Chain A
Amino acid sequence: MTYDLVVVGGGPAGVAGALTAVRAGLRVALVDSGARLGGQYFRHCAVPGAVPGAVPGAVPGAVPGLGRFLRQARALGERADVLLRHQVWSAAREPDATLAVHGVTPSPEGERPVVLRTRRLLIATGAYDRPLPFPGWDLPGVLTAGGAQALLKGSGVVAGRRVVVSGTGPFLLPAACGLAGAGARVLGVYEAGGALGLARRPLLALDKAGEAARYAVDLARHRVPYRTRQAVVAAHGEREVEAVTVARLDKGWNIIATRVVECDTVAAGYGFVPQIELGTQLGCGTRHDVDGSQVLTVDTGQRTTVPGVWAAGEPTGVGGWRLSELEGRVAGLAVVADSRALHAGPATGTAPREGAARAVPGVLVRRRVRWRRFGEALQRAYPVKPGWQGWLRDDTLVCRCEEVPLARVREAQDLGATDARSIKLLARPGMGWCQGRVCGYALSCLAGEPPQPPRRPIAQPVTLGALSESGEASAGVTVDGTGGARADDPPSHPNPPTRRNS
């Protein structure tokens, strides 16, 4: 069977895109690695209210828009094939011009391969935290800000008792408020950037002031100090974090003065890395976003430079959940137009770009442009400054997987490795399990170049067994209707968790 549309990613963009297409009568599958739809922003607990230690009356991780999202997810589950716990590792063009989406899903015997065939693909794979290394950043108890949020939203677990939040960007605020609201003592939010980021930009002040003010009130209520031009520049401890060094920074993030703060947990984040490897595997064009990230180039209908492939949300530039949802809807409308053009005209496989673009109401296009500008302004307001490189010592790990310290990176540079890729080939940073996702940004900064498009022919580690079986799978076995669990019911009707091996 060949789908009209396969969507990879079950966050706001993916669900909006899939739902728009399925409502127009297209045959749609949505694939996500999580156990429930939601992505990062709408991540939610399986059983709300069952969380020990949570503040009475508080729903851990409840975020604006969650109720509506869960209704959409349920509507989607009734009409599309929703494949949860499925990790997509490759998307490739087949000889017959369809696309094959290769994934694996856990089973009692190990990974089981799944191949979906589709005429169109929507990449809605979101983004992950962009960390910066510092001495001690690999000690247990140091998490990404998104990791702390995921623990809270998805499992109702508060990351620690005494927590410091550090990094740059507006995301530090909800992370800190979430932790404080769930009972953690948040000792401080250390924003490495300048104080006036928001106020200097009237656009932001107009559009987002309400939300920022809400967080400010929340922080004040929990007595959480918010300090700009400060950051955690080292973590200390034997087996886990026991204290951190917090530094006052100058404009370029060079250390002016330091003090030690005792804590058991650090939540740190310096922006986000859009997840675009499925696009680059297929040859989609990329560009540098304002924050330096590589993102997929799309037109007003969210179409990438490769026919039949659309992208929505963070893979086209980090801009938050509202923009992601809007782009998902726009992509869905463009996909529907493409499908109708195919049925109406000669079977070329693609509709003219203009036709697809016309399918998207002008009001949505204009709103997208406005929100995208807002996202870019936020990125501009919170740049990463090069002074962080001075926080590192010779023995500070740059690459956590291959345990490559700064000294080995510098050694490779002394040997003549001038770019990140050559450093990687000589000293191995980025060659481990995470495929350079964690250290890639830092390494490109150390190499003095902007991040390059990812070269990951296999987007997720996959066992050789699953790889060899996937040849057989693509020869005929596709979705059998039993492998993928449907989207869970909303929390008001909790399901028992689906056994992985049932």
Chain B
Amino acid sequence: MTFPITVDGRSVPVVPGQTIGAALHAAGVRSWRSTRFGGRPRGLFCGIGVCFDCLVSVNGRAPERACLLEAAPGDEVTTS
């Protein structure tokens, strides 16, 4: 009972109601952003929308917090 979303072209399964961050983490993708200065890898940290480490772009929109955003069928996620 899952549906797929794509993350940088790769298919990731989502259980309905999961956030994009949770789906990525569950699929073994634990970092999806590089920091501006040090180029350090980042993924989930606070998990509740406080730290902004987990920013992603969904369907071409401005960066959003992957830990808050519920995944929807057909979502195209791009990371930086």
Contact = CB atoms under 8 A, between A and B. Distances in A.
Contact of A156 (B15, B44, B67): B15
A398 interface: no
A265 B30 CA distance: 10
Contacts of A34: 68
B15 A47 contact: yes
Given A46-B16, A141-B30, A497-B72, A150 B67 contact: yes
A468 to B, nearest CB: 15
A209 B68 CA distance: 35
Interface in B55-80: 55, 59, 61-62, 64, 67-70, 72
A128 B44 CA distance: 15
Contact of A151 (B15, B17, B44): B44
Contacts of B62: 110, 463
Contact of A403 (B38, B41, B50, B70): B38
A500 B67 contact: no
Contacts of B16: 46-47, 50, 496-497
B46 A146 contact: yes
A434 B52 contact: yes
Query: Helix, strand, loop or mixed for chain B's interface?
Result: loop
B47 A499 contact: no
B4 interface: no
A313 interface: no
B2 to A, nearest CB: 8
Contacts of B17: 35, 45-47, 155, 497
Contacts of B45: 138, 142-144, 147, 400, 438
B41 A437 contact: no
A403 B22 contact: no
Contacts of B2: 52
Contacts of B42: 138, 140, 400
B15 A239 contact: no
A252 interface: no
Nearest to A404: B37
Contacts of A139: 41
Interface string B14-44: 0111110011011000110001111011111
Contacts of A433: 51-52, 55
Interface of B: 1-2, 15-19, 22-23, 25-26, 30-31, 35-38, 40-53, 55, 59, 61-62, 64, 67-70, 72
10 contacts: A51-B15, A129-B46, A138-B42, A144-B47, A147-B48, A148-B47, A151-B44, A155-B17, A401-B52, A432-B52
Given A46-B18, A147-B47, A403-B38, 6 more contacts: A50-B15, A143-B46, A147-B48, A157-B22, A157-B25, A240-B41
3 interchain residue pairs of minimum CB distance: A46-B17, A147-B47, A155-B22
